[in-house]
Structure 1
């Protein structure tokens, strides 16, 4: 027995076409045909919930009791359906039997004819009582049906909208990550760098990198501590203003705390190097015309020719490089070219040690 074939039998008995059903429940004609042929119940790719909804909508057009339809669907899924939808109808005489009927006619005077149907037997109606009136055509189905096509479009539109918002959110997150990486790139890379790079430190074995290195007279810097004498007892600190040479040397002094790190860029190679400096240490840095310094400005002093450069953060900060920029023109001023003071000009005192970290 097939539930779909029983629905088709009932539809035909009510003089309804497949198009009448389609117009009432708004589902494709192929789907209605698959219900009547029973193939929709065997299709594993079709959602069972949709199948039950389609069949119940179809049955409402035929004005069948919904509980009977649900019971018939349960029997179809269990494989036990045996025509209960037709058997439970209110007017079985309106339907044509869904299986072959065998009729044995006998003499009306001796016995009544009997109709044998598969699984049950009923008495055939007497010829004299058979209605000769044709049934009235149905005035058409009346049902508040579900527009499945429209519902599918709504789900499709909602899904596209969700994908658009997910893509926009993803692009925003990528933009924020890229912007943050660009802004804090120096800080990020410094985490993975060593405190100092061995290949850029002094390689001359005759020099002790950690020892205090006096500033040579022919360079542009002079030691920050008092007078220095050569082997003949002559003073190495000039008594007259100096002249800037081809190489300039500036001292970064961790006077008020640890520099962790200070980043220095020399125009000799324009490479930014991080240097970790303990409090009291000073480092010499060579350059030709431009030196960039970035770090904890409140903890450091900049020294040239024994003189403290006043307020470098306020006077020489360059926003384009986000650093203090010391140039040859800054140092080529009388107060920095004058002979260095005999004593350190600040109460903090001179550096405990001064080293060359990079020489060119």
Structure 2
């Protein structure tokens, strides 16, 4: 609710500030250009010091008055002191006494000069057009910034907040995608085993080579061939093996263990052949391909021929 005493005091302060500006030959347009305050607010300030304005706020008003005083070249501290008096209904004409050389009004019973009641703020030609534009859109509340007073742009601040939230969401999504654990690669299918009968009636598991894979691969033996003798079915006690031109030697292998030997041209295995599985360079080799003496004689040429037969 408007206090009539305060309202009169604020109008007297605004009237004195306008006359100080006119005496210093500063137009409202010049003040607007320097302070960036809307012309509509400047005009209303010089009528009632914004006391009856819908955007009136004591905090904003102090910043407004300080900026306005700086634009006129007068002491902002004195203007703020006068504003405090006006807000208490105690301002007489202190600024007019100091800057216009007028006599002070009496403390009690002073009334507004007649010219104040009929104040018509100046509207030079260059201001008319701007005032008509600004009057169509109500000015926003004022806030204090590094360059003086600026109008608050609530919608802009709200939009900036939304943009910041969206950017944070995009950044978090990108980081999650970048740091997410990659799925383990699917294991390659293993060849299905096929059962190959041997003389002993036991079954030896040999990986099945499909026709398509076998036709595309031809095993090439290296200079040295690795023979892996596996005691798959029972303890080997012992097996006798001759490597190339070396002597025939006995070997004892516990069930489940593997004996590895290397040869270049030939290897001969004797005794307990039914209890083993044999791998040559990692390729299963049947143990039933024996000679008339029951030995397993494997030569480089014979092994190559056997591997080539699998590729056909």
TM-score by length of 1: 0.33
> Which protein is richer in helix relative to its size?
2
